[in-house]
Structure 1
Amino acid sequence: MMRNLRYVMRLWLKKTWCQQVLQTRDLSVADAVNALRPFYFAVHPDFFGQHPREREINENSLKRLNGYLESLQKPNIRNPKPTQLTFYVRQTDESGFGRHLGSSGFRTVSFTLRTRDLQDTILNILNSCSLPTEHVQNFKAGVDSPQLQGTQSIFYRPIKWDKTYYSFTGFRDPEEELEEARKVEPTLNTWLEQNEATATKKLKDSLPLREELELLKSKLCDQLHLNDIRWQRSWGISHRCSQLHSLSRLSQQSPEILKNVKGRIIIFTDQSGLSASGHVMLGTTDVHHQWAKVFEKLPSYYGLQRQMLSLEDRTSHLLGGMQIVFIEELQPLFSIEEYYSILSTFYNRICNNRLSFHPRSLRGLEMVLEKDRYAPSLHELGHFIIPFKCDPITFQTFVLTKTQEARENLKKKEELKARENELTAACTSTLSLKKLYKEPSVSSTQMIHCCERLLDKPFPYLQGMHLCVSHFYSVLQDGDLCIPWKWKN
């Protein structure tokens, strides 16, 4: 009898485990991002433009959060490493679903992520920030039923109380809250009408600084023989001017050390050094002598860059001619030391497993190496996105399976870019915009979809404005208007 009992227990545990796996797989990282939308709205760095310290903390915490969510997709990680995160959260009204700011500004929230269950992780984040969670339960119910249909699993059905229950207990009806949340996101016309005056005033106030920024940038590029000066993040205009003034003072105090930067691009970012793309990085929190050390070390950095390019060529030869590229707009800004280490690890794994691709069989294809991903993927623009610690056999199988699709995507790439540029120019002209641009996280397909809809009807509030296509509504500190690419009509 005990033997039969153990057998029944094993069957029950196996069935329960399978159900948990099925339900866990229902929610992807993309689903999690969608479910966490109220959270992202409350902590988005663009809302902290006048608070650099809080903005930086939120940016770093978001990177670690995204890495944790990605790790939940890796099948061989049973218990992810506990991750403690701190965010500055914008104060909102009682709904918490992204209405106007309260008078208190923002507050600090810290929490630790330690579970492998994606839904529990989402609920932990939202509850820690006192944000609504009913939409997560609703979303989960909608995802479960079609995928688990026909399987021998427990049917998921949330309790639906009669309306009198909420009247008697004083609790809020989650269906009503969800409906209110849906109504909170305004149409584009409504949002523009409410925010046009604020954006216009900020834009007008920023015009003198914008002119000063362009003059400073042009002067330094000519003086130091630079190809360009860029910023990794959307810092405010005054912040950028301050950084250029600091660089100008350094060039006057130590002109000799800046000769090494001739013909290069300078990027103001979080760290100092040389990037994987060969650009000179200047950390915005570093002082002059730290910048000076970077300029002095540039010759040695250039030597490491030559070694990196040679290693890329050797790796490409092993991969049938597929080129390893670094796409600055889509990838994190790696230092050259970090990227060389990533590339070396990938090269050694390929060599040790003796992967064989037919010579020149993959010529014309491209791939990028990622640090925080756990599964290979194919981008809509045709390049492979490969984790640098990807299992070599998995990598080879994925590439060979997706080769034809990658070549087709590469052919469409130029068409997509041309269509995107054409529609961007058409929108800028038709809507009388001063400037139209997008965040790097917005794809070409999303930008095309957004522009096509913008051209369908007039938007008088956009005349003379700087418009950024993003994922959220916001007015930046210098008057730029940010709208979600999938705005409501």
Structure 2
Amino acid sequence: MLRNFSSLLTNRNTLIILLNRNFTSLEVSTALRPFYFAVHPDLFGKYPRERARNESSLQQLSSILEKIQKSKFVPPVSLSFYVKDKAKKTGKFRFINIHLQGNDIRTTLCTILQSCDLPTDYVDRIIPLPSTDNPNTNFKFRYKNEVDFTKVNQNHPIYAHIKMQMDMKRAQELLRLKNYLQKNALEALKKSRKGDIHREEVKRLQEIITNELQVEDLRWDCSWNEEHRKGCLLSFMSLVNQHPRIKYVLKGRVLIFSSFFTGVSLDGHIMLYSGEVRNNWLDFLKNIDRYDEALKRIPAFENSLSHVLRKIKIGRRKFMPKIVAGQYEQNLRQITTSLSDYIGLKHFPDEWPTSLENFEIVVETEAGPLMVSPTGQFIVPATIPGSLLVNFITTNLEEASKKNCGL
């Protein structure tokens, strides 16, 4: 039997060809790019209900696509989205329901795109529909995940072998699951009850820190379990008891235990890396005035970049990667210097408008993307050379303008 397809006779005259061609993750992302732009949560910044709906549905869709690509069974499901009605330019939303049924990735992608009145040309180029010009053909094409084995000819000798393999696999999976549950049920129950104790203790410690230190709020931005959170809070309380002066630093501030860094966020919140030693926390809290000063300087650096780039607005994405104020200040300084060096040698292109005040740029870390967001923002990494940034803006001015007008 050939590697790229297998066959199964359903009657004397018809042969089903099972095509195993699958989309890669990159092809799926490319095919759905117009859809993502149409429902992107950033488009609904002023509408929290619609934004939350789209975020939740996008997470479900991502899980569904992953299962389909791994040839796992996916039950029928309906996903709902809000789409901005750009055609009528009314600023209102269109509510759509997308019904997904079956495990064929091609059909799934086409259903998603067609539900939003988007073209499926890219999908058709990757896997075109089999030709049906000859109604008398003895061949029927099906994609691997699309085949319903309940409708095949069960009297065919090939089917007996396939059914036996399927039954054996199903029995093995059920036995494996049953044995796993029997083996781990008591341990899971024990850990769950233990987790309840830790959760209560974490809640109690958070209330103590919030009340005694007059912290405005205490948040978690890390994936630690309750036991680790408890240890983190106890370590922090021990630090405060040994160094009472830092209480005044925390008063009226938002305290966040982070999985990224220790520092002051762009929102002015105190971030403590949950995996760091206490001495590092102490050094940071003792010198927090220096970090706060960096936060105060940021508007001046943003104004400087705006001045160099023809009064362009300096924006920030709500869900941009976490960064401390000092690092963001360095990023702004770096990209402003690159543009100043460019202007010292060349002029901005003639096709640029005299002012870019209707456009917005977002400066991210050196690993950040170079793209135009669904809302028309120029999103650029801090390390981009001045010449490349100017070329990027020149190439995408029209696209950014259209997306701005569509909001």
> TM-score, normalised to structure 2's length?
0.48
Larger radius of gyration: 2
